Amino acid sequence: MKLKATMGPIRILLADDHTMVREGTREILEHYPDLQVVGEAEDGEQAVQLACQLQPDVVLMDIGMPRVNGIEATRRIKAQCPQIAILVLTAYDDDQYVIAILQAGAAGYLLKSARGSELVEAVRAVNAGESVLHPAVARKVVGRLAHRG
């Protein structure tokens, strides 16, 4: 379990190529005093650079981004800064994406259809060292794994 060095707010980096999504997500998160958005990245390459520079506790990562996708960005961040928790926030619910990004090191996977309160709970959970899977995604992954056997 990851323990925070300080008792300050959970520091969050937003990584999404859509400005409106970043702005809306920031607005949701900043309603909570224990959450602080410390930066925004508009592509995967910038997400890697800012994650290593800013050292957030959590990166909210989209999958479909230009230059470097969220799966590769997650892999690079975890290789360089393994203490940073990655929470995927995406529209993709395909089990292949889920498995690929979890293998890359993501701690959680949330769909953009989730409520703001679910996002806040997921950020807190991955920061505490827990894993989070959106229920619809979990059903697909379990179904896929069950059919392998």
5 is a domain residue: no
Distances (CA, A) of 87 to 43, 84, 117: 16, 10, 15
112 is a domain residue: yes
Domain that holds residue 59: 10-148
Q: What is the pLDDT of residues 2-20, one digit of tens each?
A: 444 557 999 999 999 999 9
1 is a domain residue: no
Predicted confidence at residue 135, as pLDDT, reads 85
Please list the alpha-helical segments (H only) found in 1-149: 19-29, 44-54, 70-80, 95-104, 116-127, 135-148
In CATH, what number is assigned to the domain containing residue 34?
3.40.50.2300
Q: Is the pTM of this model over 0.85?
A: yes
Predicted confidence at residue 13, as pLDDT, reads 99
130 is a domain residue: yes
Residue 107's DSSP bridge partners are none
**Confidence grade of residue 48 (pLDDT, cut at 50, 70, 90):** very high
133 is a domain residue: yes
142 is a domain residue: yes
3 is a domain residue: no
2 is a domain residue: no
* Structural domain count, the chain: 1
